[in-house]
Amino acid sequence: MNKFKETSFKSVTYLASLFTIVFLFAIILSIFYEGIPIFKHVSLIKFLTSPSWHPTHFPPDFGILSLIAGSFLVTLGALIISIPLGLGSAIYISELAGPTSKEILKPVIELLASIPSVVYGLFGMAFLSPLLIKIFHVPTGLNIFSASIILGIMVVPIISSMSEDALSTVPKSLREASLALGANKWETIIRVVVPAAKSGIFSSIILGFGRAIGETMVVLMVAGGAAQIPKGLFQPVRPMPAAIAAEMGETVIGSPHFHALYGISIILFTVTFISILITEFIVHRRKK
Partner 1 sequence: MISRRKISSFLGVNLLRLFIVITAIFLLVFLYVIFSRGGKLLSWSFLTESPRRFMTEGGIFPAIVGTFWLTVLSISFALPLGVLTAIFLTSYARPPWLVRIVRVAINTLAGVPSIIYGLFGLTVFVRMLHFDVSILSGSLTLGILALPVIINASEEALRSVPRDFREASLALGATERQTIIKILLPTALPNILTGTIISIGRVAGETAPILFTAATFYTRVLPSSVMDEVMALPYHIYALLTEGSHGAKQLPIAYGTAVVLMALVLLVSTLAIIIRFRIRKKRKW
Using CB under 8 A, which residues numbered 83 to 122 contact partner 1?
84-85, 87-89, 91-93, 96, 105, 107-112, 114-119, 121-122
Q: How far is the CB of 232 from partner 1 (least distance, A)?
A: 24
Of 232, 100, 209, the C-alpha closest to 158 is 209
Q: What is the x/- site pattern for partner 1, positions 170-189, by CB under 8 A? A: --------------xxxx-x
Q: How far is CA 4 from CA 12, 13, 16, 18, 271, in A?
A: 12, 14, 18, 21, 46
The residue among 44 and 118 lying less far from partner 1, judged by its C-beta, is 118
Q: How far is the CB of 22 from partner 1 (least distance, A)?
A: 9
Name residues contacting partner 1, limited to 15-54 (CB under 8 A): 15-21, 23-24, 26-27, 30-31, 33-34
With CB under 8 A as the contact rule, the residue among 36, 43, 190, 195 that binds partner 1 is 190
| Biggest CA pair distance of the chain | 78
Q: If binding is defined by CB under 8 A, does position 72 make contact with partner 1?
A: no
The residue among 63 and 124 lying less far from partner 1, judged by its C-beta, is 124
With CB under 8 A as the contact rule, the residue among 36, 44, 126, 177 that binds partner 1 is 126
Identify the sign of the CA torsion 176, 178, 183, 187: negative
Of 204, 72, 90, the C-alpha closest to 148 is 72
The per-residue DSSP string of 244-267 comes to HHHHHTTSPTTSHHHHHHHHHHHH
The residue among 16 and 45 lying less far from partner 1, judged by its C-beta, is 16
Chain Cα centroid distance, residue 224? 19
Q: Total binding residues for partner 1 by CB under 8 A? A: 86
Cis peptide before 51 (omega within 30 of 0): no
Q: How far is the CB of 125 from partner 1 (least distance, A)?
A: 6
Name residues contacting partner 1, limited to 240-279 (CB under 8 A): 241, 244-245, 248-249, 253, 261-262, 265, 268-269, 272-273, 275-276, 279
Q: How far is the CB of 153 from partner 1 (least distance, A)?
A: 6
The residue among 13 and 100 lying less far from partner 1, judged by its C-beta, is 13
CB neighbours (10 Å) of residue 158?
22
Q: What angle separates helix 144-168 from helix 65-91, to the nearest 10 degrees?
A: 40
Q: Are 86 and 160 in contact (CB under 8 A)?
A: yes
